[in-house]
Chain A
């Protein structure tokens, strides 16, 4: 029978020892701070894209353009008296932000050729904007010369929006592929990181206990299984604490920073795709993604950390440890590098299998969920996960209880196998 109060003491120690460490808080705050900086940076960039105001001095011999070229945020048109362009071109040599635009007389029905002088070759956005503005003015002139109404012409110009639709059994869904893929990739990678980072904490913790020989004193009062589970659960709670803090902090930063970013992107009207992402983010089922994430974090972590625990208990030195931890980590690494393949084709048989095998599902299923997974697959994968970690913890406990007291001998797989049958 398990003694819950003792497991409680062990969990408490394992948790507090780690949470009190400076490195824990450093890492906990570093990520949101980086994220905050990223948001802050893009806000800053939005306010000042790093380009000084540019002034285009217009010498208009055609007389059509006066006042009609539209300024943009960084580009201003200034109309100058014709005939003085030579002096201006002399002055240009001193300033990189001054340009001279010479528009000759031309027939409104013919092509237009203008000259743009700059100290250095003008940035593309300047020449592009100049071109667009001139074209607009000439077009308007031509329309007027035909005697047509401006508004009628505008009404002829249709606005076209292509909305991708995804057909599923349940009907037609709004496609959110870019946003969803991003979320899928991040979630899969995060879970890979979590399982690895916290699995290694268990590995190191048990190795330390074995090395400094405290374990026997403890084992005279608690069962090996209780000690192992206490450690695994304690470390898991550290992981969840860190994750929750991240969620809260990042959500906080997002709420403060994102409206600003959205507002700016609206003003700039430039990143239509970005806007799409922002809009479609809201269509993802975040509670489901988060729930599945936490479930597979716990499941994958229990699976890997129990096996790591068995390894740490069995071997004496770090070098021998690798012989066992490397093969154990390979499936997880394969899962990580296959995230992209799964995102590209979330319902391929490769993806489905990878999200069923418990050694890869903590990464794969988490990556698939934001892209849409049939419910039955999710449920089967979860059941396999639960059955697997129950099995691995049982297996690990059997090896752990013998291994933790063995010193000085090199351990082979055969030996581990034999330990399973020791009384």
Chain B
């Protein structure tokens, strides 16, 4: 179990690094799909089967297909001239230092956190039934608000892609 976790974590981290440092966005997108699959495997290890399935269907399926569509839509002309303007070395070092600071703050927060959650006694956490029960009872209002959010996103995306920016 632990070996499986470490292997999946290594895949996730390596593919994450490749997402950041690939020159072509298409390759970044493909490595991001690998990353999503590895994280979905880790969700399975953490007894979140439903979320793992959703991760593969929604993220690796729908969202990444959308990304690939847009990349292929935009970068079709002059692919060889499209070189990304680079940052100076100092700027890159500052960015890495800021990210390291973020990580340090997060680790500090995690290890100092006193979490007052009581241990609940859900027998089968993670199956679709318990998530559905939580979604339709305790979180019913957020669930409905989510549908409004998706409607707003649909309308926004349609309007943005219909009219040209003036």
- Whether chains A and B associate is no
**Interface residue ranges, A against B (CB under 8 Å):** none
**Interface residue ranges, B against A (CB under 8 Å):** none
